[in-house]
Amino acid sequence: MAADFEILAVDSGSMARAGVLRVAHGEIRTPAFVPLATKGSVRGLTPAEVRDLGFDMVLGNTFHLHLNPGDERIAGQGGLHSFMRWDGPIITDSGGFQVFSMGHGTVADEIKGRAPNGPGRSGSVRAIEEEGVRYRAYTDGSERFMAPETSMEIQANLGSDIALVFDECTPFHVSRDYTARSTERTHRWLDRCLDWHAEHGPAGQLVYGIVQGGVHEDLRVESAQAVAARACDGIAIGGSLGAEKEQMYEVVRWATAVLPPERPRHLLGIGEIDDLVAGVARGIDTFDCVMPTRLGRHGVALVPEPGRRWRIDLTAASLKDSDEPLMEGCPCPACAIGYSRSYLRYMAKARELTAMRLITVHNLAFVQRTVARLREAILAGTFEQVSAEILGGAAP
Protein backbone atom coordinates (compact mmCIF):
# COMPACT_ATOMS: atom_id res chain seq x y z
CA MET A 1 0.00 0.00 0.00
CA ALA A 2 1.33 3.45 -0.82
CA ALA A 3 0.76 6.31 1.58
CA ASP A 4 -1.75 8.96 0.53
CA PHE A 5 0.89 11.64 0.06
CA GLU A 6 0.20 14.59 -2.18
CA ILE A 7 3.16 16.76 -3.18
CA LEU A 8 1.87 20.28 -3.74
CA ALA A 9 5.10 22.01 -4.76
CA VAL A 10 8.76 21.21 -5.36
CA ASP A 11 11.47 23.83 -5.05
CA SER A 12 13.31 24.42 -8.33
CA GLY A 13 16.71 24.95 -6.73
CA SER A 14 16.79 22.10 -4.20
CA MET A 15 15.00 18.87 -3.27
CA ALA A 16 12.58 20.67 -0.94
CA ARG A 17 8.93 19.81 -1.34
CA ALA A 18 5.69 20.77 0.37
CA GLY A 19 2.79 18.38 0.62
CA VAL A 20 -0.02 16.80 2.57
CA LEU A 21 0.25 13.33 4.07
CA ARG A 22 -3.14 11.80 4.83
CA VAL A 23 -3.24 9.09 7.51
CA ALA A 24 -5.98 7.39 9.50
CA HIS A 25 -6.38 10.19 12.07
CA GLY A 26 -5.97 13.20 9.81
CA GLU A 27 -3.57 15.19 7.70
CA ILE A 28 0.03 16.23 8.21
CA ARG A 29 1.13 19.36 6.37
CA THR A 30 4.72 18.80 5.26
CA PRO A 31 7.45 19.66 5.86
CA ALA A 32 6.50 19.06 9.47
CA PHE A 33 8.13 18.83 12.85
CA VAL A 34 6.82 16.07 15.10
CA PRO A 35 7.06 16.75 18.86
CA LEU A 36 7.92 13.82 21.11
CA ALA A 37 5.23 12.31 23.27
CA THR A 38 7.73 9.70 24.41
CA LYS A 39 5.77 8.31 27.32
CA GLY A 40 2.33 9.23 26.01
CA SER A 41 2.39 12.99 26.56
CA VAL A 42 4.22 15.98 25.16
CA ARG A 43 5.71 16.74 28.55
CA GLY A 44 3.98 19.60 30.30
CA LEU A 45 1.40 20.27 27.59
CA THR A 46 -2.18 19.22 26.98
CA PRO A 47 -3.18 17.78 23.58
CA ALA A 48 -5.16 20.97 22.85
CA GLU A 49 -2.06 23.10 23.47
CA VAL A 50 0.00 20.92 21.13
CA ARG A 51 -2.68 21.24 18.47
CA ASP A 52 -3.02 25.01 18.98
CA LEU A 53 0.72 25.48 18.46
CA GLY A 54 0.10 24.10 14.96
CA PHE A 55 1.40 20.54 15.20
CA ASP A 56 -0.39 17.86 13.21
CA MET A 57 1.35 14.73 14.55
CA VAL A 58 3.16 13.53 17.68
CA LEU A 59 5.61 10.66 18.20
CA GLY A 60 5.04 7.95 20.79
CA ASN A 61 7.83 5.72 21.98
CA THR A 62 7.32 1.99 21.45
CA PHE A 63 10.00 0.87 23.88
CA HIS A 64 9.01 3.05 26.84
CA LEU A 65 5.25 2.51 26.40
CA HIS A 66 5.81 -1.24 26.14
CA LEU A 67 7.67 -1.32 29.46
CA ASN A 68 5.33 1.12 31.19
CA PRO A 69 2.32 1.17 31.32
CA GLY A 70 2.38 -1.69 28.78
CA ASP A 71 1.00 -1.73 25.27
CA GLU A 72 -1.66 -4.29 26.15
CA ARG A 73 -2.96 -2.02 28.89
CA ILE A 74 -3.06 0.85 26.38
CA ALA A 75 -4.90 -1.38 23.90
CA GLY A 76 -7.39 -2.14 26.68
CA GLN A 77 -7.99 1.60 27.00
CA GLY A 78 -8.81 1.85 23.31
CA GLY A 79 -5.31 2.46 21.95
CA LEU A 80 -2.83 5.30 22.34
CA HIS A 81 -5.03 7.99 20.73
CA SER A 82 -7.81 7.36 23.20
CA PHE A 83 -5.43 6.77 26.15
CA MET A 84 -3.59 10.09 25.73
CA ARG A 85 -6.60 11.97 24.35
CA TRP A 86 -4.80 13.03 21.19
CA ASP A 87 -7.12 12.44 18.25
CA GLY A 88 -4.63 13.49 15.55
CA PRO A 89 -1.98 11.45 13.75
CA ILE A 90 0.59 9.50 15.82
CA ILE A 91 3.84 7.97 14.59
CA THR A 92 5.54 5.38 16.80
CA ASP A 93 9.21 4.51 16.60
CA SER A 94 10.16 0.84 16.59
CA GLY A 95 11.98 0.65 19.91
CA GLY A 96 15.16 -0.44 18.16
CA PHE A 97 16.83 2.87 18.84
CA GLN A 98 16.23 2.62 22.60
CA VAL A 99 17.13 -1.07 22.82
CA PHE A 100 20.42 -0.50 21.05
CA SER A 101 21.32 2.82 22.60
CA MET A 102 21.20 1.18 26.03
CA GLY A 103 24.11 -0.96 24.95
CA HIS A 104 26.12 1.65 23.12
CA GLY A 105 26.16 4.78 25.29
CA THR A 106 23.55 7.47 25.10
CA VAL A 107 21.19 8.21 22.28
CA ALA A 108 22.75 11.61 21.71
CA ASP A 109 26.23 10.10 21.59
CA GLU A 110 25.15 7.75 18.85
CA ILE A 111 23.46 10.28 16.61
CA LYS A 112 26.24 12.81 17.02
CA GLY A 113 28.95 10.22 16.55
CA ARG A 114 30.59 10.81 19.92
CA ALA A 115 32.46 8.06 21.69
CA PRO A 116 30.12 5.93 23.77
CA ASN A 117 30.65 6.69 27.44
CA GLY A 118 27.16 6.51 28.89
CA PRO A 119 27.52 5.88 32.59
CA GLY A 120 26.44 2.44 33.66
CA ARG A 121 24.32 1.76 30.64
CA SER A 122 26.46 -0.60 28.61
CA GLY A 123 25.60 -4.20 29.24
CA SER A 124 21.84 -3.64 29.19
CA VAL A 125 21.74 -5.28 25.78
CA ARG A 126 22.39 -8.95 26.47
CA ALA A 127 22.67 -10.19 22.90
CA ILE A 128 21.91 -9.13 19.34
CA GLU A 129 20.92 -12.17 17.35
CA GLU A 130 19.36 -12.82 13.99
CA GLU A 131 16.09 -13.54 15.74
CA GLY A 132 16.05 -10.28 17.72
CA VAL A 133 17.56 -8.53 20.73
CA ARG A 134 17.75 -9.70 24.32
CA TYR A 135 17.87 -6.83 26.77
CA ARG A 136 17.41 -6.04 30.43
CA ALA A 137 14.41 -3.85 31.21
CA TYR A 138 15.26 -0.68 33.11
CA THR A 139 11.92 -0.83 34.88
CA ASP A 140 12.37 -4.09 36.79
CA GLY A 141 15.68 -5.57 35.63
CA SER A 142 13.96 -8.53 33.98
CA GLU A 143 15.39 -10.03 30.83
CA ARG A 144 13.23 -9.35 27.78
CA PHE A 145 13.34 -10.10 24.11
CA MET A 146 12.38 -7.84 21.23
CA ALA A 147 12.12 -9.21 17.73
CA PRO A 148 10.88 -7.40 14.62
CA GLU A 149 7.52 -9.11 15.12
CA THR A 150 7.38 -8.00 18.77
CA SER A 151 7.92 -4.38 17.80
CA MET A 152 5.17 -4.53 15.18
CA GLU A 153 2.81 -6.21 17.62
CA ILE A 154 3.42 -3.48 20.22
CA GLN A 155 2.79 -0.79 17.61
CA ALA A 156 -0.38 -2.60 16.53
CA ASN A 157 -1.54 -2.53 20.15
CA LEU A 158 -0.74 1.18 20.36
CA GLY A 159 -2.71 1.72 17.15
CA SER A 160 -0.45 4.41 15.74
CA ASP A 161 -1.10 5.87 12.29
CA ILE A 162 2.49 5.25 11.22
CA ALA A 163 4.61 2.35 12.53
CA LEU A 164 8.36 2.22 12.04
CA VAL A 165 10.05 -1.10 11.36
CA PHE A 166 12.48 -2.63 13.85
CA ASP A 167 16.07 -1.91 12.90
CA GLU A 168 19.49 -1.91 14.44
CA CYS A 169 20.57 1.67 15.00
CA THR A 170 24.16 1.08 13.92
CA PRO A 171 26.60 2.88 16.20
CA PHE A 172 29.17 5.33 14.87
CA HIS A 173 32.21 3.69 16.41
CA VAL A 174 32.02 0.33 14.67
CA SER A 175 33.82 -0.99 11.63
CA ARG A 176 32.53 -0.64 8.10
CA ASP A 177 32.24 -4.41 8.03
CA TYR A 178 30.00 -4.42 11.13
CA THR A 179 27.86 -1.64 9.63
CA ALA A 180 27.47 -3.62 6.40
CA ARG A 181 26.40 -6.80 8.21
CA SER A 182 24.11 -4.90 10.55
CA THR A 183 22.47 -3.06 7.65
CA GLU A 184 21.82 -6.33 5.84
CA ARG A 185 20.22 -7.75 8.97
CA THR A 186 18.07 -4.62 9.25
CA HIS A 187 16.82 -5.36 5.72
CA ARG A 188 15.94 -8.95 6.70
CA TRP A 189 14.13 -7.57 9.77
CA LEU A 190 12.29 -5.16 7.46
CA ASP A 191 10.90 -8.13 5.53
CA ARG A 192 9.80 -9.80 8.77
CA CYS A 193 8.09 -6.59 9.93
CA LEU A 194 6.25 -6.23 6.64
CA ASP A 195 5.24 -9.91 6.67
CA TRP A 196 3.89 -9.64 10.22
CA HIS A 197 2.06 -6.41 9.43
CA ALA A 198 0.50 -7.79 6.25
CA GLU A 199 -1.09 -10.57 8.28
CA HIS A 200 -1.81 -8.94 11.66
CA GLY A 201 -1.37 -5.17 11.33
CA PRO A 202 -4.32 -2.87 12.01
CA ALA A 203 -6.16 -1.63 8.94
CA GLY A 204 -5.05 1.84 7.96
CA GLN A 205 -1.71 1.74 9.83
CA LEU A 206 1.14 2.78 7.55
CA VAL A 207 4.59 1.21 7.82
CA TYR A 208 7.83 3.08 7.23
CA GLY A 209 11.04 1.22 6.42
CA ILE A 210 14.33 2.57 7.82
CA VAL A 211 17.49 3.30 5.85
CA GLN A 212 20.73 2.48 7.69
CA GLY A 213 24.30 2.20 6.40
CA GLY A 214 26.22 4.47 8.73
CA VAL A 215 28.44 7.10 7.14
CA HIS A 216 29.39 4.97 4.13
CA GLU A 217 28.01 6.21 0.84
CA ASP A 218 27.76 2.84 -0.87
CA LEU A 219 26.04 1.26 2.16
CA ARG A 220 23.59 4.17 2.49
CA VAL A 221 22.70 4.03 -1.21
CA GLU A 222 22.31 0.25 -1.13
CA SER A 223 20.14 0.51 1.96
CA ALA A 224 17.96 3.25 0.46
CA GLN A 225 17.49 1.13 -2.66
CA ALA A 226 16.74 -1.99 -0.62
CA VAL A 227 14.12 -0.20 1.49
CA ALA A 228 12.60 1.48 -1.57
CA ALA A 229 12.30 -1.93 -3.27
CA ARG A 230 10.02 -3.12 -0.45
CA ALA A 231 6.36 -2.21 -0.12
CA CYS A 232 6.91 0.39 2.64
CA ASP A 233 4.42 3.24 2.76
CA GLY A 234 7.13 5.71 3.65
CA ILE A 235 10.84 5.75 4.38
CA ALA A 236 12.76 6.91 7.43
CA ILE A 237 16.48 7.65 7.62
CA GLY A 238 18.13 6.54 10.84
CA GLY A 239 21.34 5.49 12.49
CA SER A 240 24.60 7.29 12.79
CA LEU A 241 24.62 10.32 10.53
CA GLY A 242 28.17 11.35 11.29
CA ALA A 243 30.12 13.50 13.70
CA GLU A 244 29.79 16.83 11.86
CA LYS A 245 26.78 18.59 10.42
CA GLU A 246 28.18 18.68 6.89
CA GLN A 247 28.68 14.93 7.05
CA MET A 248 25.13 14.47 8.32
CA TYR A 249 23.74 16.49 5.43
CA GLU A 250 25.79 14.40 2.97
CA VAL A 251 24.49 11.16 4.47
CA VAL A 252 20.90 12.40 4.17
CA ARG A 253 21.43 13.47 0.56
CA TRP A 254 22.93 10.10 -0.44
CA ALA A 255 19.70 8.47 0.68
CA THR A 256 17.12 10.97 -0.56
CA ALA A 257 18.83 11.16 -3.98
CA VAL A 258 17.87 7.54 -4.69
CA LEU A 259 14.54 7.34 -2.83
CA PRO A 260 11.33 7.33 -4.87
CA PRO A 261 9.97 10.90 -4.73
CA GLU A 262 6.35 9.88 -4.28
CA ARG A 263 6.85 8.30 -0.84
CA PRO A 264 7.07 10.42 2.35
CA ARG A 265 10.45 10.60 4.10
CA HIS A 266 11.15 10.99 7.80
CA LEU A 267 14.48 11.96 9.37
CA LEU A 268 14.81 10.31 12.76
CA GLY A 269 15.98 12.28 15.79
CA ILE A 270 17.12 15.46 14.04
CA GLY A 271 15.58 18.90 14.55
CA GLU A 272 18.02 21.74 15.28
CA ILE A 273 16.99 24.88 13.37
CA ASP A 274 19.82 24.69 10.81
CA ASP A 275 19.26 20.94 10.45
CA LEU A 276 15.59 21.51 9.64
CA VAL A 277 16.52 23.92 6.85
CA ALA A 278 19.20 21.55 5.52
CA GLY A 279 16.96 18.49 5.81
CA VAL A 280 14.06 20.14 3.98
CA ALA A 281 16.45 21.24 1.22
CA ARG A 282 17.50 17.60 0.85
CA GLY A 283 13.94 16.36 0.46
CA ILE A 284 12.95 15.41 4.03
CA ASP A 285 9.23 15.72 4.79
CA THR A 286 9.00 15.09 8.54
CA PHE A 287 11.37 15.38 11.52
CA ASP A 288 11.26 14.43 15.16
CA CYS A 289 13.64 15.58 17.85
CA VAL A 290 13.79 15.82 21.62
CA MET A 291 15.60 19.18 21.39
CA PRO A 292 12.81 21.79 21.89
CA THR A 293 11.13 19.96 24.76
CA ARG A 294 14.30 18.79 26.52
CA LEU A 295 15.93 22.22 26.30
CA GLY A 296 12.75 23.76 27.67
CA ARG A 297 12.90 21.56 30.74
CA HIS A 298 16.49 22.67 31.32
CA GLY A 299 15.73 26.38 31.08
CA VAL A 300 17.17 26.86 27.59
CA ALA A 301 15.07 28.83 25.11
CA LEU A 302 15.28 29.07 21.34
CA VAL A 303 16.03 32.53 19.94
CA PRO A 304 16.83 33.68 16.38
CA GLU A 305 20.59 33.88 16.98
CA PRO A 306 22.57 31.46 14.77
CA GLY A 307 25.84 32.49 16.46
CA ARG A 308 24.50 31.01 19.70
CA ARG A 309 23.10 27.91 18.00
CA TRP A 310 19.64 29.49 18.31
CA ARG A 311 19.57 29.18 22.07
CA ILE A 312 19.85 31.19 25.23
CA ASP A 313 20.42 29.67 28.64
CA LEU A 314 17.84 31.39 30.78
CA THR A 315 19.55 30.17 33.94
CA ALA A 316 22.64 32.32 33.18
CA ALA A 317 23.68 34.71 35.94
CA SER A 318 23.96 37.54 33.40
CA LEU A 319 20.16 37.58 33.10
CA LYS A 320 19.54 38.15 36.80
CA ASP A 321 18.38 41.71 36.27
CA SER A 322 17.38 41.56 32.61
CA ASP A 323 14.06 43.22 31.90
CA GLU A 324 14.15 42.03 28.28
CA PRO A 325 11.39 39.67 27.19
CA LEU A 326 12.25 36.02 26.42
CA MET A 327 12.20 36.90 22.71
CA GLU A 328 11.23 40.29 21.30
CA GLY A 329 8.11 40.09 19.15
CA CYS A 330 7.50 36.36 19.69
CA PRO A 331 3.80 35.62 19.10
CA CYS A 332 3.75 32.45 21.22
CA PRO A 333 1.35 32.04 24.18
CA ALA A 334 4.25 31.95 26.67
CA CYS A 335 5.79 35.22 25.50
CA ALA A 336 2.33 36.82 25.34
CA ILE A 337 2.30 36.82 29.16
CA GLY A 338 5.17 39.30 29.08
CA TYR A 339 7.57 37.79 31.63
CA SER A 340 11.06 39.27 31.78
CA ARG A 341 14.19 37.18 31.42
CA SER A 342 14.93 38.05 35.02
CA TYR A 343 11.68 36.44 36.15
CA LEU A 344 12.08 33.41 33.88
CA ARG A 345 15.67 32.95 35.09
CA TYR A 346 14.56 33.06 38.70
CA MET A 347 11.80 30.52 38.04
CA ALA A 348 13.98 28.24 35.91
CA LYS A 349 16.73 28.24 38.56
CA ALA A 350 14.11 27.33 41.14
CA ARG A 351 12.99 24.43 38.89
CA GLU A 352 9.47 25.86 38.91
CA LEU A 353 7.17 23.72 36.76
CA THR A 354 5.65 26.87 35.26
CA ALA A 355 9.00 27.97 33.86
CA MET A 356 9.76 24.59 32.30
CA ARG A 357 6.31 24.48 30.79
CA LEU A 358 6.43 28.00 29.36
CA ILE A 359 9.90 27.60 27.87
CA THR A 360 8.79 24.30 26.31
CA VAL A 361 5.78 26.06 24.78
CA HIS A 362 8.00 28.83 23.43
CA ASN A 363 10.54 26.37 21.98
CA LEU A 364 7.90 24.25 20.29
CA ALA A 365 6.23 27.36 18.88
CA PHE A 366 9.60 28.54 17.53
CA VAL A 367 10.27 25.23 15.77
CA GLN A 368 6.72 25.04 14.44
CA ARG A 369 6.91 28.55 12.97
CA THR A 370 10.24 27.65 11.36
CA VAL A 371 8.87 24.63 9.50
CA ALA A 372 5.62 26.41 8.67
CA ARG A 373 7.63 29.26 7.17
CA LEU A 374 9.71 26.82 5.12
CA ARG A 375 6.52 25.19 3.89
CA GLU A 376 4.98 28.51 2.86
CA ALA A 377 8.21 29.42 1.10
CA ILE A 378 8.24 26.22 -0.94
CA LEU A 379 4.63 26.85 -1.95
CA ALA A 380 5.45 30.47 -2.86
CA GLY A 381 8.66 29.64 -4.73
CA THR A 382 10.87 31.54 -2.27
CA PHE A 383 12.54 28.66 -0.45
CA GLU A 384 16.13 29.69 -1.20
CA GLN A 385 15.57 33.22 0.07
CA VAL A 386 13.63 32.23 3.18
CA SER A 387 16.17 29.50 4.06
CA ALA A 388 18.95 32.09 3.89
CA GLU A 389 16.96 34.46 6.09
CA ILE A 390 16.36 31.80 8.76
CA LEU A 391 20.01 30.70 8.71
CA GLY A 392 20.96 34.37 8.95
CA GLY A 393 18.97 34.85 12.13
CA ALA A 394 15.57 36.10 10.97
CA ALA A 395 12.82 35.44 13.48
CA PRO A 396 10.53 32.71 12.16
Residue number with CB closer to Zn ion (192 or 341): 341
CB 48 within 8 A of CB 91: no
Size of the site for Zn ion (CB under 5 A): 4
3-state secondary structure the chain: CCCEEEEEEECCCCCCEEEEEEECCEEEEECEEECEECCCCCCCCCHHHHHHCCCCCEEECHHHHHHCCCHHHHHHCCCHHHHHCCCCCEEECCCHHHHHHHHCCCHHHHHHCCCCCCCCCCCCEEEECCCCEEEECCCCCCEEEECHHHHHHHHHHHCCCEEECCCCCCCCCCCHHHHHHHHHHHHHHHHHHHHHHHHHCCCCCEEEEEECCCCCHHHHHHHHHHHHHCCCCEEEECCCCCCCHHHHHHHHHHHHHHCCCCCCEEECCCCCHHHHHHHHHCCCCEEECCHHHHHHHCCEEECCCHHHCCEEECCCHHHCCCCCECCCCCCCCCHHHCCEHHHHHHHHHCCCHHHHHHHHHHHHHHHHHHHHHHHHHHHHCCHHHHHHHHHCCCCC
Minimum Å distance from CB 378 to Zn ion? Answer: 24
| Residue 355 in contact with Zn ion, rule: CB under 5 A | no
362, 369, 373, 375: which one binds Zn ion (CB under 5 A): 362
252, 267, 281, 335: which one binds Zn ion (CB under 5 A): 335
Which range binds Zn ion by CB under 5 A, 167-175, 272-280, 288-296, 329-337?
329-337
Does the annotation mark 87 as catalytic?
no
| Residue 367 in contact with Zn ion, rule: CB under 5 A | no
Minimum Å distance from CB 332 to Zn ion? Answer: 3
Which range binds Zn ion by CB under 5 A, 72-80, 183-191, 316-324, 334-342?
334-342
Which range binds Zn ion by CB under 5 A, 48-56, 238-246, 247-255, 354-362?
354-362
Residue number with CB closer to Zn ion (120 or 329): 329
Minimum Å distance from CB 50 to Zn ion? Answer: 15
| Residue 330 in contact with Zn ion, rule: CB under 5 A | yes
**CB-side neighbour CA atoms (13 Å) of 366:** 34
| Residue 301 in contact with Zn ion, rule: CB under 5 A | no
| Residue 45 in contact with Zn ion, rule: CB under 5 A | no
Which range binds Zn ion by CB under 5 A, 25-33, 89-97, 328-336, 370-378?
328-336
Q: Which of 11, 56, 71, 93 is catalytic?
A: 93
Does the annotation mark 4 as catalytic?
no
Minimum Å distance from CB 365 to Zn ion? Answer: 6
CA angle 37, 38, 43 (to 5 degrees): 55
CB 163 within 8 A of CB 205: yes
Residue number with CB closer to Zn ion (193 or 330): 330
State which of positions 206-225 bind Zn ion (CB under 5 A): none
| Residue 332 in contact with Zn ion, rule: CB under 5 A | yes
| Residue 295 in contact with Zn ion, rule: CB under 5 A | no
**Within 10 Å of residue 6's Cβ, how many Cβ atoms?**
13
Minimum Å distance from CB 305 to Zn ion? Answer: 14
CA angle 134, 140, 142 (to 5 degrees): 30
| Residue 364 in contact with Zn ion, rule: CB under 5 A | no
Residue number with CB closer to Zn ion (17 or 369): 369
Residue number with CB closer to Zn ion (165 or 335): 335
Residue number with CB closer to Zn ion (213 or 296): 296
Minimum Å distance from CB 326 to Zn ion? Answer: 6
Which range binds Zn ion by CB under 5 A, 34-42, 131-139, 231-239, 331-339?
331-339
| Residue 341 in contact with Zn ion, rule: CB under 5 A | no
Point out the residues that are catalytic: 93, 288
Site residues for Zn ion per CB under 5 A: 330, 332, 335, 362
